[in-house]
């Protein structure tokens, strides 16, 4: 494992800032991988409200054939990194995963999700326009080497992850497209519905008419581009606008 120069982060930040395309970002990720002597880096935009799409962007230092197979087979649905990342706001190491079932373990081995990855660190990203992304590094280092470097990785890649995300958002123009945030009342009504309250009860709780509650719910659904209230609740939780019923 090479010794990381103290100027590597500054150099990487300048390179990222100069990127004009997603291809440029991928190239810089490769250079960062080489500088740190790790196995691979993955940037995954999991949800972007302006795109109304799931998994719109996946940049990786893995080979192209591997990435095509991952996307074509929709391994997003079984990859424990993606599943855990959708629920977490804090960085996590792959060693924290619970024991996987034999079926899932077989699927992951078939998908080669852990190719050259003895260790992994994933940093969840919550963007300013409601987008969610994951930044992951993998390493084939020995355990003691990983332990020695993990705090440096956590510090450096936490900074790099958000900088990469911001550059990707700028290149993709997510933040120049209209995104209608929910009003305080709309969030409040969705939150109370998520906790099991009926519109009539919500009306009495927040001191408005029942028709006003239904109007807030309808406008929230329209802003979130959802057909049903359940869809609006799920999307609001995903965007961090409200908390789940168990919170």
Number of domains in the chain: 2
Which pLDDT score, from 0 to 100, does residue 240 have?
A: 77
Q: Is 7 a residue whose pLDDT tops 60?
A: yes
Q: What percent of the chain has pLDDT over 70?
A: 83
Do the domain assignments include residue 216?
yes
Q: How confident is the model over 143-152, as a mean pLDDT?
A: 92
Q: How confident is the model over 141-159, as a mean pLDDT?
A: 92
Q: Which of 157, 176, 195 is the C-terminal boundary of a domain?
A: 176
Do residues 194 and 116 both lie within one domain?
A: no
Residue with token string 């450096």 = 156
Do the domain assignments include residue 18?
yes
Q: What percent of the chain has pLDDT over 90?
A: 48
Residue by residue, what is the 3-state secondary structure of the chain?
Answer: CCCCCCCHHHHHHHHHHCCCCHHHHHHHHHHHHHHHCCCEEEEEEEEECCCCEEEEEEEECCCHHHHHHHHHCCHHHCCHHHHHHHHCCCCEEHHHCCCCCHHHHHHHHHHCCCCCCCEEEEEEEECCCCCEEEEEEEECCCHHHHHHHHHHHHHHHHHHHHHHHHHHHHHHCHHHCCCCCCCHHHHHHHHHHHCCCCHHHHHHHHCCCHHHHHHHHHHHHHHCCCCCHHHHHHHHHHCCCCCCCCC
Do residues 160 and 210 both lie within one domain?
A: no
Backbone angles phi, psi at 76, to 5 degrees: -55, -35
What's 100's domain CATH number?
A: 3.30.450.80
| pLDDT, tens only, 89-111 | 899 998 877 555 445 545 555 54
Average pLDDT of the chain? 84
Do the domain assignments include residue 30?
yes
Distance (Å, rounded) from C-alpha 190 to C-alpha 151?
39
Which pLDDT score, from 0 to 100, does residue 184 have?
A: 92
Read off the pLDDT band of 163 (50, 70, 90): very high
Do the domain assignments include residue 208?
yes
Query: Looking at 11-15, 17-21, 177-181, which range is the least confident one?
Result: 177-181
Which pLDDT score, from 0 to 100, does residue 174 have?
A: 78
Q: Which domain holds residue 190?
A: 184-238
Do residues 101 and 25 both lie within one domain?
A: yes
Of 124 and 74, the structure prediction assigns the larger pLDDT to 124
Do residues 195 and 154 both lie within one domain?
A: no
Q: How confident is the model over 55-80, as a mean pLDDT?
A: 85
Read off the pLDDT band of 177 (50, 70, 90): low
Do residues 92 and 205 both lie within one domain?
A: no
| pTM (whole model) above 0.75 | no
Do residues 113 and 33 both lie within one domain?
A: yes
Q: How many CA atoms lie within 13 A of 68 on its CB side?
A: 3
Q: How confident is the model over 68-86, as a mean pLDDT?
A: 85
| pLDDT, tens only, 187-234 | 999 999 999 999 999 999 999 999 999 999 999 988 877 778 887 888
What's 202's domain CATH number?
A: 1.10.10.10
Distance (Å, rounded) from C-alpha 114 to C-alpha 106?
12
- Going by their DSSP bridges, the two strands 119-126 and 53-60 should be labelled as unpaired
Do residues 140 and 188 both lie within one domain?
A: no
Of 59 and 244, the structure prediction assigns the larger pLDDT to 59
Q: How confident is the model over 37-51, as a mean pLDDT?
A: 87
Contacts (Cβ under 8 Å, ≥6 apart) of 194: 233, 236, 237, 242, 243, 244, 245
Read off the pLDDT band of 42 (50, 70, 90): very high
Do the domain assignments include residue 20?
yes
CB 242, CB 236: distance < 8 Å = yes
Q: How confident is the model over 24-38, as a mean pLDDT?
A: 95
């Amino acid at each position: 494992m090479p010794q990381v120069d103290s100027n590597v982060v500054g150099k990487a930040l300048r390179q990222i800032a100069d990127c004009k395309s997603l291809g440029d970002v991928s190239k810089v990720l490769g250079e960062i991988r080489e500088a740190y002597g790790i196995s691979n880096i993955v940037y995954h935009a999991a949800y972007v409200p302006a795109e109304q799409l799931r998994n719109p962007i996946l940049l990786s230092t893995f080979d192209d054939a591997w990435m095509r197979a991952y996307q074509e087979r929709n391994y997003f649905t079984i990859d424990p990194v993606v599943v855990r990342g959708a629920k977490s706001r804090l960085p996590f190491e792959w060693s924290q995963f619970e024991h996987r079932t034999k079926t899932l373990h077989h699927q992951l081995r078939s998908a080669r999700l852990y190719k050259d990855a003895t260790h992994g660190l994933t940093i969840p990203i919550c963007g300013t326009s409601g987008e969610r992304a994951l930044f992951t590094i993998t390493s084939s280092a020995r355990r003691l080497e990983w332990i020695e470097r993990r705090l440096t990785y956590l510090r450096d890649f936490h900074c790099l992850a958000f900088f990469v995300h911001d550059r990707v958002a700028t290149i993709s123009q997510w933040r120049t497209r209209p995104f209608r945030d929910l009003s305080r009342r709309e969030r409040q009504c969705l939150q109370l519905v998520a906790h099991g309250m009926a519109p009539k009860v919500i009306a009495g709780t927040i001191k408005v008419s029942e028709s006003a509650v239904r109007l807030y719910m309808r406008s929230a659904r329209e802003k979130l581009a959802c057909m049903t209230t359940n869809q609006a609740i799920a999307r609001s939780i995903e965007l961090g606008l409200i908390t789940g019923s168990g919170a």
